[in-house]
Chain A
């Protein structure tokens, strides 16, 4: 069907945090959830309606977020497909809660645990089930890596001593981070342990505007490899599951998602290093002519190129805060999510129509 490769977008509205909720109820909220896939933003003069694949209201449970977002992706990962789950939204919109769970020390058994621990459980549950079904004929190998992209540099969260890793491509294995530590996993608990260890190494910043905001993108990748022996024929399948926690969306202004906004030269002595981006944009609209653009995509898009319009299953969870003070950010998050729906597998084939019909 036509919807095939499009990215699924799931919007989740968090409850207003205690203290910010105004006594006059609805007045303090900038949006309302109309149905399981529409949301109304109380913009002026006209309210704006957005439609997504799912909209989760404030009462939605963690379990239900997991079943509608991640379950399917984890399953297709078992079938050899790559899958990616993104969390997007401004700082304080509930990304970490959605992905990880409440910020307790032991999230893994917590009843409010998030998408990531639940995905681990489900993945290993599926692996165990497969193994039981297939007996000794089938074996699995799970590995994980955890990296952080900060200021267009890549760091290994599993090896805090490392710095400045590079992205490379392999003709059989696709894009990979050269030199990133890979840890073998044998259970969901182990996966969770690795995750929490790495999470502590992330860069967090506080400014007078934001109490705490994550300034980096973190990518946790699980590689699932299955090997099946069938009368001497060995069948190996491998797939990736990427769990991505993006930097607070207010920081994304640095990475062209916001579009408008001039790049500053700042200090008068510094170079005008962004001129290249402007020129790139000019060349981009060039009418399908052959051209080369010298500036590579951002590290994140390069790493996840396959997820953003390849043959992978991808889902974005856009987190929004309903408070009316967050109106601007919420609007921009919803706009981003709307645009994300349009990203599809762009398989433009070089096809020359000249001289072939004769």
Chain B
């Protein structure tokens, strides 16, 4: 036994060095020899295997399984998958009979985790899924039947006195299981089981909090991103919860003492960028909530439907009364120490649909604050794309708020704010590098002017008679809208300035809508000069005709512009008669 004891001491020492090489040293390996430490660790593990097979202690199947596990991971790490698989399978085979025991369960789960990773590298996600789901099941079975903190695999090569505390054991075991869930989240994502993947992401985040295994910044960013998933599912309560938790956890990041002294300029900047990213997620939250509410409330011409508004308000009242024992809590992150801060954060903004201007304005203001916060970091100098995206969101916030505004003059002013923020950016932007954003801005500016023109017309219609000021205003807004639609259409031209014969799928609808709107705008221009009026009608007709002809030539385009096409056809039928009449009026003697 003494001799065996010596062998054991040597084996233990080598095992320990191998682990250190693998996990610590290997990170410092030069780029030219990325696996140097791993290869060295592998050699040591092989030696340990030799030592054990000679000694009496070698009879311990669990220890051999630990070695097989380490060798398996090592081979997989160094891109030798088949060898890795063999070792890992040998490990699970050795453990099979006692996999539910306190000594083995942790190792068994980790081996299955690694087999899952390995198979995913072979693009066999289903096989990976089997391993990981069985690891998940084993965890549950163990916790149900036993539940005592199991031994950590590394303990099999430790002396009695070095053994871990139960608390540490439990921590490591839970961590391994968190990894199982994290891998499963990826598996489900690859298999396009989106909802399940999201649920596993959520659980992973939750467990990271519970077992304090996270970096605050990273965690906050993940939670903020997850909120965007919930937005796409219209789950505003969940989205808000993720964002509130993100803010709370993020605020821990500055407080970590280690990051204090040698904090570089770069780290500071990173931190500011992350904060701005989370702010951007909040902006989207406010925007989506407002836009969804708008969808609920608008009638068939896009105006506020008052009956619907009353109906929804009554419905909400009823729900609030019944709420007491609603769903809630199930998906929340809440652990006791951050619970209060998260709740306080949540209270700052509603998660139910705003139903009138007051409610909409409150959400708008929260969104606008986050716009300012995001812009502090994403300045146009250095972050052109991000900056413009934020400004576009700001513009969108104004646009949706305007929907809730009943006063047309004030509504018009909101649109003017949009123009004021977008126009200077557009003027500076080089389309050679920012073609896409440039087009988006052209289109949005055109649309905004178009909307303002419509509002001015509506205001004018309430007057007894259109005064010259209003007419001038309407005409100039219409001209500006035309200008930006034309700029957009020009951006589609090829280098020789020729407009494409056939439009590409992704610009088809915008291009057709631009043509259609230009046609309508020429129809709206007000002039007392009959000849000028005739000219405008002629131009209008040409644009309508473009739509009709194009759809005739490319029938596939019809689906994209059905309403517009129908109206265009009608106008192509009507306009010539109207023009004829006008001509007759102008020259009554012909």
Contact = CB atoms under 8 A, between A and B. Distances in A.
B584 interface: no
B408 to A, nearest CB: 14
A233 interface: no
Interface in A270-292: 271-276, 278-283, 285-287, 289-292
Nearest to B231: A291
A265 B380 CA distance: 36
A294 B178 CA distance: 23
A174 interface: yes
A260 interface: yes
A350 B440 contact: yes
B90 interface: no
Interface residues of B, number: 109
Contacts of A2: 500, 502, 504
Given A275-B222, A289-B231, A262 B187 contact: yes
B428 A346 contact: no
B436 A348 contact: yes
B309 interface: no
A281 B226 CA distance: 10
Contact of B190 (A171, A260, A291): A260
Contact of A293 (B175, B228, B381): B228
Contact of A279 (B33, B226, B430): B226
A221 to B, nearest CB: 13
Nearest to A76: B495
B179 interface: yes
A44 interface: no
A290 B432 contact: no
Nearest to B182: A272
Contact of B433 (A173, A258, A287, A352): A173
Nearest to A175: B433
B125 A260 contact: yes
A283 B232 contact: yes
Contacts of A349: 439-440, 443, 488, 507, 510
A164 B425 CA distance: 30
Contacts of B383: 168-169
Nearest to A81: B495
Contact of B504 (A4, A81, A352): A4
B85 interface: no
B353 interface: no
Contacts of B252: none
Given A261-B120, A349-B488, A291 B380 contact: no
Nearest to A237: B432
A83 to B, nearest CB: 12
Given A276-B222, A347-B506, A171 B120 contact: no
B201 A273 contact: no
Interface stretch (A16-24, A97-105, A129-137, A202-210): A202-210
A357 B563 contact: yes
Nearest to B393: A290
A278 B197 contact: yes
Contacts of A264: 117
B384 interface: yes
A274 B183 CA distance: 10
Nearest to A178: B382
Nearest to A289: B232
Interface residues of A, number: 81
B552 interface: no
A354 B302 contact: yes
Contacts of A267: 23
Contact of B78 (A208, A253, A279, A348): A208
A357 B523 CA distance: 13
A319 interface: no
B121 interface: yes
Contact of B232 (A239, A259, A286, A354): A286
A275 B117 contact: no
Interface in B220-261: 221-222, 224-226, 228-229, 231-232
A349 B392 CA distance: 12
A306 B430 CA distance: 12
Contacts of A174: 430, 432-434
Interface stretch (B135-143, B160-168, B279-287, B327-335): B279-287
B228 A357 contact: no
Given A282-B198, A351-B509, A208 B120 contact: no
Contact of A310 (B110, B128, B435, B564): B435
A263 interface: yes
Contacts of B218: 271, 273, 276
Given A278-B185, A279-B201, A348 B232 contact: no
A291 B396 CA distance: 13
Nearest to A263: B186
A237 to B, nearest CB: 10
Nearest to B234: A289
B576 interface: no
A310 B218 CA distance: 31
Contacts of B281: 292, 294
Contacts of A79: 495
A4 B123 CA distance: 34
Given A171-B428, A276-B225, A282-B229, A347 B517 contact: no
A109 interface: no
A200 interface: no
B35 A207 contact: yes
A279 B232 CA distance: 12
Given A286-B229, A290-B287, A290-B396, A271 B380 contact: no
A299 B172 CA distance: 35
B208 A272 contact: yes
A346 B508 CA distance: 12
Given A286-B231, A351-B513, A171 B429 contact: yes
A282 B302 contact: no
B420 interface: no
A168 B269 CA distance: 13
A331 B198 CA distance: 32
A150 B124 CA distance: 28
A336 B175 CA distance: 36
A47 interface: no
B575 to A, nearest CB: 17
B34 interface: yes
B504 A344 contact: yes
A82 B432 CA distance: 8
Contacts of A268: 110, 172, 175-176, 179
A358 interface: yes
A295 B428 CA distance: 27
Interface string A332-358: 000000000000111111111111111
**Most B Cβ at <10 Å: residue of A208, A272, A280, A346:** A272
A261 B121 contact: yes
B466 interface: no
B157 interface: no
Nearest to B242: A279
A4 B498 CA distance: 13
A211 interface: no
A347 B436 contact: yes
A310 B432 CA distance: 8
A311 B434 CA distance: 9
B120 A4 contact: no
Contacts of B204: 272, 275
B463 interface: no
A1 interface: yes
**Most B Cβ at <10 Å: residue of A209, A271, A289, A292:** A292
Interface of A: 1-2, 4-5, 79-82, 150, 164, 168-175, 178, 203-209, 215, 239, 253, 258-269, 271-276, 278-283, 285-287, 289-295, 306, 310-311, 344-358
Given A262-B187, A278-B201, 13 more contacts: A171-B430, A172-B430, A174-B433, A175-B433, A207-B79, A278-B197, A282-B197, A292-B228, A292-B280, A310-B436, A347-B436, A352-B399, A353-B513
11 contacts: A1-B502, A170-B384, A171-B381, A175-B433, A208-B35, A209-B78, A269-B23, A269-B175, A271-B214, A294-B274, A344-B504
